[in-house]
Structure 1
Amino acid sequence: MKSHVKALVVGGGAVGTSIAYHLARAGWEDVVLLERDELTSGSTWHAAGLLPYFNMSYATTHIHDYSIKFYKTLEEETGLNAGFSVVGNLRMAQTKERMDEYRLYATTAETCGVPFEWMTPAEIKERWPLVNTSDLEGAIYHPTDGYINPADVTMAMAKGARQRGVSIERKWQVDGYDWTGSEWRVTLTKMVEKGGNLVPSEEQTTITAEHVVTATGNHAQRTAKLLGIKIPAIPVEHQFIVTEPDPALVEYRKTHGEHPVLRDADAKWYVREERGGWILGPYERNAPARFEYGVPDSFRADLFPLDLERIEEEYMSMIHRIPSSEEVGLKDDFNGPICYTPDGNPLIGPAPGLRNMWLAEGFSFGITAAGGAGHYLAQMMVEGEAEIDMASLDPKRYGSWMTTEYAARKNEEAYEHVYIIHHPDEERPACRPLRTAPVYDRQKALGAQFGQVNGWERPNYYGPLDADENFDHDARSFRRGGWWHYAKEEAEAIRNGVGMIDATAFTKHLVKGPGAAAFIDWFTCNKLPKVGRINLTYALTEAGTTRTEYTVVRLADDEFYLVSAGAWTAYDGDYLRKAAEDKRDEMGWIEIQDVTTQWGVLAVAGPKSRDLLNALVKDADPATVLSNKRFPWLSCRDIELGMCPVRAIRVAYTGELGWELHHPIEMQRYLWDLITTEGEAHGLKLVGARAQNWLRQEKSYRAFGHELGRDATPLEADLPRFVDLSKDFHGKAAMEKTGIRSKCVTVLIDGPDDTDPWGREALYLEDGTRVGRLTSGGYSVAFGKSIGMGYVSPEVAKTGQALKVKMLDKLWDATVTEDSPYDPENARIRQDG
């Protein structure tokens, strides 16, 4: 075995072999893959090998698409048949609501170039007469999809990796990681067979690696302990059964080709052919998490006992859908561990707090994702960034607050939700409430309906109290849900009066020290604000794309208060700390504190916001404290509201006159009561995140994770006013070299009366040419129609350009509007009083 390598990949399943292959293909030499047992001995060996395209995530759809195309090339390269049966994938719907889900998904598929077809029940019956279509509404069909042999595709990738110089070492277990400051020193133990078990021997060795990638599957918790980090990847039991040959199927196959993979999402199962019979794979309720604290040494390529009672409902529904299967016996059964994460998406990217340590864990659809995961992770490692935005899959989307219990219960929920309708306004209930602001109970008593962001409970809207039996807060929809009218009233209150939004979940970092100013100036692309002022700015990736959006408040010459999106606390903090560490020797000492949980935030906005706050200000001349002269737009002041000291920032994400009131979180209940009591005289309305999302689109305010991300530069986001090209900053050269590949625009949409875009829809020209996609969507109370933001080809990014937006499989007229269509001169924000 080599003693020093460029990259060490730990884990010999489909994901690990793909990563090793793609690193070698990207040009890295000295790549070693380690496997503690045999290749494919983890979840790979008992996977059903399905390759489903269907996924609501833009990044994951790209990953799946790459895999399916890549696997078809392996035989030509390696001479090994990967066992890919391109039979297609038929995803059936029993309800109109399920068809709405497919129509929303289809817009993501279109933007990623994934082929699909719509099928009626009659068309399904004509092509596949064994399928009972009597209660179906229709289906979406992917003709290029199918299934593959997991072991064969893994071995093909392994051979391809070896051909490119990768060394694959089996029966070696990692027992220690030690970062020397420039590379990883990894301790290995030789594993040997003993009594049918795999046990450590006394033989040990070490290997040093510039980069390490962990793809340890079911062993992710052991990996987490060795690295001293948290990885919310925990397996859940997944069962599937294989039937004896079905005589009707055998007869059908004499004159017809193989059935596509059948998915009855409303019945929560997939079915495919297997040697004249059927494989049924259900995603039932109450499947338990396993190995929360590590995989027992005795567990190798093993299975759990089958629990047929748990899947009885799904089994009976298969008989209903394929009546000929009723008299067919069971031939085989499997119940094995498959890793999940709390949101069902894998963890791909840099490990939190560690250098040159990369995670590829938590793959619930590992065979489908393996090829693409290897491709895009290799891009990140070799080139510094992937061509698609991988932030939604970053391991740091879960912070240190996450526990084993949380991950296990949420992973069980994610498993159960594989086939539960994925409403865009869904809020899953497991492990909630967990992180709550002090005023949570007050909000709940006033009708707040919460969403979860990074574990925080945040009001989405305020609806009627539970005593109103005519309103269902849990009703979800692909169209305008029951909450829509309440969000509309909240948005109108901000535009016409005054509203208050709980923004406590905002990420907050304090950066100070002798090197702070020079560091922030290099780290972000805008000019630094003066003391007492603020600016909006961006930290870039090495590729010049947007890594993080910050509101920077300059508290002193060498002290800065950074506010960023609440969903990305660990993600932002890790990048910030690592960048500061790199610059300390050059720029001087830089201290960084995560103060997110120390400060609450209540945002008060609207044309009457000054009147409300003037009544609460404690000052010798309270009427002037919030005036433009003493408190201009884009400035910060320490003020007192009653007995509460407040760091007030004159900025509003809604585009109205307003202030963010940052306060000691232990005083939040006092401040809330003070504002709401005085607010009664001013018509104060409590406002949730959904109304705020609509309002910020009327101002063309970009949002990280939507318009802002690692696949577009700030210039492509059309934000040149926040980029100071006269200075040097991280990512500047790469940003300028990239140019303008696409451009962010705001569109007003003449859409249907019952539907608004969700931010996943494809954009077309009048002639049917696809020119872009939406990244946000909603309703505009200012214009009385749907609104959206997204990216289009630069040549069509001009005011007045006519477009079409695909919503629920129909094209609707849309027009590119000016940037900040509501109050483009910012007169309302700047108004004096």
Structure 2
Amino acid sequence: MKTHVKALVVGGGAVGTSIAYHLARAGWADVMLLERDELTSGSTWHAAGLLPLFNMSYATTHIHKYSVDFYKTLEEETGLDAGFFVVGNLRMAQTDARMDEYRLYSATAETAGVHHEWLTPGEIKERWPLVRTEDLKGALFHPQDGYINPADVTMAMAKGARQRGVTIERKWQVDGYRWTGSEWEVTVSKMVEKGGNLVVSDEQQVIHAEHVVTATGNHAQRTARMLGIKIPAIPVEHQFIVTEPDPALVEFRKTNPQHPVLRDADAKWYVREERGGWILGPYEEGAPSRFSFGVPDSFRADLFPLDLERIEEEYMSMIHRIPSSEEVGLKDDFNGPICYTPDGNPLVGLAPGLRNMWLAEGFSFGITAAGGTGHYLAQMMVEGEAEIDMASLDPKRFGPWMTTEYAEKKNEEAYSHVFILHHPDEERPAARPLRTSPAYDRQKARGAQFGAVNGWERPNYFGLVEAPESFDHDARSFRRGAWWEFAEKEAKAVRETAGLIDATAFTKHVLKGPGATAFLDWFTTNRLPKVGRINLTYALTAAGTTRTEYTIVRQAEDTYYLVSAGAWHAYDQDFLIKAIEDKTAEFGSMYLADVTTQYGVFALAGPKSRDILAKLIRDPEPETALSNKRFPWLSSRGVELGMVPVTAIRVAYTGELGWELHHPIEMQNHLFDRLMEAGEPEGMKLVGARAQNWLRQEKSYRAFGTELGRDATPLEAGLDRFVDLSKEFHGKAAMEAIGLRSRCVTLLIDGPADADPWGREAILHDGQMVGRLTSGGWSVGFGKQIGMGYVPPALAEPGTRLQVRMFRELYEAEVAEDSPYDPTNARIRADG
């Protein structure tokens, strides 16, 4: 066995073998893969091998598409048949709402280059007469995918990896990891068979690896303990059954090709052919999580007992959809562990707090994702970044507050939600509420309808008090949901009077010390503010793309208050800490404090906001305390509001006169009550995140995770004014080398009467797709739909006429000037 390697991949399933293969293909010559048992002995061996091309996630769609294309090339390269049956995938819809979901799927597919077709019930019946169609609305058909033999594709990738120089060692278990400061020392033990079980022998080795990738599947909790981190990947039971041959199917196949993989999402199952019979794979309610603290040593390629009662409803619905299956007996059954994460997406990227430790865990659709994960993770490791933004899959999207019970509940929920209607305004209820600001109950009593962001409860809109008793706040839609009318009133209030927004979930750090100024000047793109002032700035990846957005408040010469997105707390913090560690010797000592949970934040915005604060402020000269002379735009001051000491920052994400009020969190309820007392007589309304999202688009304010990410530079995002090219900063040369591949624009759209874009839709010019929306919504200022997205620079000029596809129809759109609402910022700068 080798004891010194460039990269060590731990785990010999489909994901691990793909990563090893792609690292070698990317040029790393010294790669080794370890498997504690045999290749494919984890979840890979009992996977059904389906290859659905895409889902609602842009990154995951690209991963799946790469896999499907890649698997078709393996036989030519390796001589091994990967067992790919390109039979297509038929997504059937029983309801109009499901058809709307597929129309939104179609938008994502178009932007990712995934081919698909639309079929009517009659066309389905004509092609596949065994399928009952009279209660269907239609279907989305993907002719280029199908299913694959998981063992065959894994072995083909393993052979391809060996051909490229990868060493694969079986029956070796990792027992410990130690980072030396420059490499990983990985202690491994030889596994031997004893009484049908695998046991650890006395033979041990230490492997020295510059990089380690864990793809340990169901064993992720053991991996997490050895690394001293949290990995919210816990398996959930998934069962599927195989029927005896169906005579009607056998007869059909005499003159016809295989059926596509059939997906009746409204019935919560998939079905495909298997040797003249059918495989039924349900995603039922009540499937339990397993192995929350690790897989027992006695569990190898084993299964759980089948629970037929739990899937009775799904089984009966299969008989309804394929009537010929009613008389067919059961031939086989499988009930095995499949890893999930709280949001259903895998964990791909650097581990939190660790160097050169890469995670590829939590794959509920591991066969589909394996090829693409290997490709894009290899790009991240070898080139520094992937060509697509992988932040939505980053392991650090879940913070250290997450517990085992939380992961259990959310993973079970993710499993049962595989086939529910995935509305873009979906809010899943499990494990909530969990993280709440002190004013949570006060806001709830005033009608707050909450969403969860990084575990925090954040108001999406306020409507309970105003709505009729029969109003259904849980009603979702792919068009305008039940919340829309309330969000519109809130947005208008910000524009006309004032709105109060709970922004407590913001990520907040204090950085100070002799090295803080020089470090931040290198770390971020913009010039640093003077004491008492603020600026907006960006930290870049080494590849020159956008890694984090910060609002920096300079509190003293070497003391800075950093505010970033609440949804990305651990993601931002990990990047910041590692950069400080790398640069302390060069710039001087620094101290970083995470004060996120010490301070609450209210954002007060609107033309009446100064009048409201004037009622509360305690100042020797209250008449001028909030004037432009004493409190100009983009400045920060310590003020007293009632009995609360507040760091007030004159900035507003909504584009109106306003302040962010950062306050001791234990005083939040007092401040909330005083603001309500002062604001309600002025027409102030409580405002949620959905109205705020509309308003920030009217100002062309980019949002991290949508317009801003690791696939575009700040210059491509149109943020030139926040990039000081006269100084040197991290990632500058790489950013300049990229140039302008595309440009972020704001579009005003003449859309349908009952729907707004969600930020996934294709942008077209002269009938050709030229870009995609990253955000979308309704503009109360212009009375039409609004969206932001990326197009080629030549099409980014204001006045350019484009089209946006929504619900399969094309709607006219025009590129607006940046900040189409109040482009001179006169309202934000208003004096008083």
TM interval, shorter chain, is over 0.9
Q: Which residue of the partner structure matches residue 159 of structure 1? A: 159
Aligned to 1:321: 321
Q: How do 1:525-536 and structure 2 match up within 5 A?
A: 525-536=525-536
Is the CA contact 2:638–2:645 (under 8 Å) kept in the aligned structure 1?
A: yes
Counterpart Cα distance in 2 of 1:211 and 1:680: 58
1:523 aligns with 2:539: no
In 1, Cα distance between equivalents of 2:574 and 2:535: 22
Counterpart CA distance in 2 for 1:800 and 1:30 is 54
Aligned: 1:768 with 2:767: yes
Q: Deviations over 1:534-581 (max 9, x none)?
A: 000000001100000000111111111110101000000000000010
Secondary structure of the residue aligned to 1:20 is helix
Cross-structure match for 1:79: 79
Cα distance in 1 between the residues matched to 2:704 and 2:643: 35
Which amino acid counterpart does residue 462 of structure 1 have in structure 2? F
Which deviations, in whole Å up to 9, do the C-alpha atoms of 1:16-42 show, x marking residues without a partner? 000000000000011000000000000
Q: Name 2:453's counterpart in structure 1.
A: 453
Alpha-carbon offset, residue 286 of structure 1: 0.3
Q: Shift of residue 466 of structure 1?
A: 9.5
Distance in 1 separating the partners of 2:529 and 2:107: 41
1:306-317 aligned at under 5 Å gives the runs 306-317=306-317
What's the offset of the Cα at 1:595? 0.8
**Map 1:117-136 → 2, pairs under 5 A:** 117-136=117-136
Aligned to 1:557: 557
CA contact under 8 A between 2:267 and 2:314: conserved in structure 1? yes
1:296 aligns with 2:290: no
Matches within 5 A, 1:80-159: 80-159=80-159
Q: Secondary structure at the match of 1:622?
A: coil
How many angstroms apart in 1 are the aligned matches of 2:310 and 2:628?
Answer: 66
Equivalent position of 1:709 in the other structure: 709
Which position in structure 1 is the counterpart of 2:472? 472
Tell me what 2:830 maps to.
831
Residue 646 (structure 1) aligned with residue 646 (structure 2): yes
Aligned pairs (5 A) from 1:418-567: 418-465=418-465, 468-567=468-567
Counterpart of 2:639 in 1: which secondary structure? strand
Deviation at 1:593, TM superposition (A): 1.3
Match of residue 11 from structure 1:
11
In the other structure, the counterpart of 1:385 is 385
In structure 1, give the amino acid aligned to 2:108.
Answer: T
Structure 2 Cα separation of the partners of residues 464 and 201 of structure 1: 63
| Residues matched between the structures, number | 832
Residue 63 of structure 2 corresponds to which residue in structure 1? 63
| CA distance in structure 2 between the partners assigned to 1:641 and 1:558 by the alignment | 27
Which position in structure 1 is the counterpart of 2:790? 791
1:467 offset after TM fit, Å? 8.4
TM-score (norm: length of structure 1): 1.00
Deviations 1:287-341, CA, capped at 9 Å, x for gaps: 0000000000000000000000000000000000000000000000000000000
Letter of the aligned partner of 1:548 in structure 2? T
CA separation in 2, counterparts of 1:613 and 1:306?
A: 63
Kept in 1, the 8 Å contact 2:54–2:65? The answer is: no
> 1:788-824, CA deviations, whole angstroms, 9 ceiling, x for partnerless residues?
0000111111111111101111111111010000000
- Write out per-residue CA displacement over residues 406-450 of structure 1, whole angstroms, 9 at most, x where no aligned residue: 001000000000000000001000000000000000000000000
* Range with greater deviation from structure 2 (384-393 or 680-689): 680-689
2:694 corresponds in structure 1 to: 694
Measure how far apart 1:479 and its partner are: 0.7
Q: Can you list the C-alpha shifts for 1:432-479, whole angstroms capped at 9, x where unaligned?
A: 000000000000000000000000000000002398422101000001
Residue 709 of structure 2 aligns with an amino acid whose one-letter code is: G
User: Structure 1: which 5+ residue stretches go unaligned?
Assistant: none
Deviations 1:221-280 (A, max 9, x none): 000000000000000000000000000000000000000000000000000000000000
Secondary structure, in 3 states, of the residue corresponding to 2:501? strand
Change (3 A) 1:807 1:715: same
Provide the aligned C-alpha RMSD in A.
0.7
Q: Whole-Å Cα distance in 2 between the matches of residues 716 and 24 of structure 1?
A: 32
> In structure 1, the residue corresponding to 2:475 is in which secondary structure?
coil
SS at match of 1:789: strand
Q: Structure 2 CA distance, aligned partners of 1:277 and 1:798?
A: 58
- The 8 Å contact of residues 70 and 371 in structure 2, kept in 1 or not, is answered as yes
Counterpart for residue 631 of structure 1: 631
| Aligned counterparts of 2:425 and 2:484: Cα–Cα separation in 1 | 11
Q: Deviations over 1:610-636 (max 9, x none)?
A: 000011000111111111000000000
What letter corresponds to residue 825 of structure 1 in structure 2? T
For 1:435, what is the secondary structure of its paired residue?
coil
C-alpha distance in 2 between matches for 1:247 and 1:162 = 44
One-letter amino acid matched to 1:803: L
User: What SS is found at the alignment partner of 2:592?
Assistant: strand
**Aligned-partner SS, 2:451:** strand
- SS of aligned partner of 1:211: strand
Distance 1:14 1:510 in 2: 43
Q: Which residue does the alignment assign to 1:811?
A: 810
Alignment check: 8 A CA contact 2:744 2:790 kept: yes
User: CA offsets, 1:70-91, max 9 Å, x none?
Assistant: 0000000000000000000000
The 2-side partners of 1:773 and 1:229 are apart by: 36
Distance 1:122 1:357 in 2: 53
TM-score (norm 2): 1.00
Counterpart AA for 2:357: M
Question: Hey, what does 1:41 align to over in structure 2?
Answer: 41
Q: Structure 1: which 4+ aligned runs deviate by more than 6 Å?
A: none
For 2:124, the aligned partner's letter is I
Question: In the aligned structure 2, how far is the partner of 1:588 from the partner of 1:467?
Answer: 57
Distance 2:607 2:67 in 1: 52
Aligned amino acid, residue 559 of structure 2? E
Q: Which residue in the other structure is 1:187 paired with?
A: 187
**Amino acid corresponding to residue 43 of structure 1 in structure 2:** S
> Aligned equivalents of 1:13 and 1:665: distance in 2?
47
**Distance (Å, rounded) in 2 between the aligned partners of 1:466 and 1:276:** 58
Letter in 1 for 2:67: S
